Amino acid sequence: MDIRVAVLGSGSWGTTVAALASRNTPTILWSRRPELAEQIQKERENGDYLAGYRLPDQLQATADLEEAVSQADLLVVGVPSQGFRSALEAAKPHLRPWVPVVSLAKGLEVGTRLRMSQIIEEVLPGRPVGVLTGPNLAKEILAGHAAASVIAMDDHNVARALQDIFCGDLYRVYTNEDVVGCELGGVLKNVIAIASGMADGLGAGDNTRSAVITRGLSEITRLGEALGGQALTFSGLAGMGDLIATCISTQSRNRHVGERLGHGETIEEVIAAMNMVAEGVKTSKVVMEIAEELGLDMPITSEVKACCHDGRTAAEAYDGLLRRDVGREMDGIGTGR
């Protein structure tokens, strides 16, 4: 029997995941905007985020949340982190019991500091909860390029069943039981990608970018372990893989934010010119709150937060990083701290 999939959120990644699933099983994509749902349904294109990329004929789209959710055997949630809770609460009356819920969002909720999987457990308790994450740039996948991802769930048997829903000829999905580590890898890499973009905007070379990515991975691992993730996870697709793709790709929203900051624009100017959410901007503040409470040194994240929230310029941020004392390369990694 086919598993019916509902995907909430018609941004670039939600649409792409819906397109992938629709090739394997009946899938419906929900958009809060009726005109976009109609365009996807009739024209087979998401002109707002994926113009020029044809979507599968079998993919269905709707702006009616009850229609999307009521018959779903799997709910996939691809709305940005700050609208994640409200989307779940709206879907809750229409969702049948025991239906698994998978998050695509890579952020932390401002205020509660919760990961998306924790919000799912709060709003929709008693269901299998998972995360689909990894180095996945939507346009490359729709263009048919090879890519790999991770479905992270505590229950390996459920994860294995969901694996087949998303896999394609050139899109491989691996399983991982470290939900915390996989989720945090996706969250934290967005912050480091802003730093990488700032380096590019300032005209720094590949040596600088390599250092930012590598030291950024150290920060990700340090905080990820402290919050319960496994160190090995951060060297895999959900950690290093996602970090590299997001830091170097011109398609990366967070890298784009950093690059514009490096060119001298204010964060307000950068955000006003974008039509998609760069999760790392708000996440940087939340991450620093957590790091300070845990007593963790995260210099790159600290400078990104200062640029995004305290009026610091990208040039000042990099001057601050270069003036810092150096120590042992692997301090704080593999110790849980």
The CATH 3.40.50.720 portion of the chain extends over 5-177
Kindly report, as residue ranges, where domains of CATH 1.10.1040.10 are found in the chain.
180-322
Q: For 237, phi and psi rounded to 5 degrees?
A: -60, -40
The listed CATH number (2.40.30.110, 3.40.50.720, 3.40.50.2300, 3.40.50.1820) that belongs to domain 5-177: 3.40.50.720
Domain 180-322 sits in CATH at 1.10.1040.10
Which residues are 296's β-sheet partners? none
Which pLDDT does position 276 carry in this prediction? Answer: 78
Q: How far is Cα 121 from Cα 178, in angstroms, rounded to an integer?
A: 16
Task: Tell me the two tokens of residue 233.
Answer: 């996870």
User: What is residue 136's predicted lDDT score, i.e. its pLDDT?
Assistant: 92
3 state DSSP class of 326 = coil
3-state class (DSSP) for residue 169: coil
Cα separation, 325 vs 315, whole angstroms = 18
DSSP 231: G
Q: State the first-to-last Cα distance of the chain, in angstroms, to the nearest integer.
A: 47
Dihedrals φ, ψ of 71, to 5°?
A: -105, 10
**Is residue 196 within a helix (H) or strand (E), and if so which, with residue range?**
helix 179-201
Reply yes or no on whether 189 is catalytic: yes
Predicted confidence at residue 320, as pLDDT, reads 78
pLDDT at 278: 83
* Mean pLDDT in order along the chain per 10 residues (337 residues): 92 96 97 97 96 96 97 96 96 96 95 96 96 95 95 94 92 96 96 95 91 94 96 97 95 94 94 86 94 95 95 90 66 60
Distance of CA 12 to the CA centre of its chain: 12
Catalytic pick from 189, 282, 285, 305?
A: 189
| pLDDT at residue 337, as a whole number | 47
The pTM of the full predicted model, rounded to 2 decimals, is: 0.92
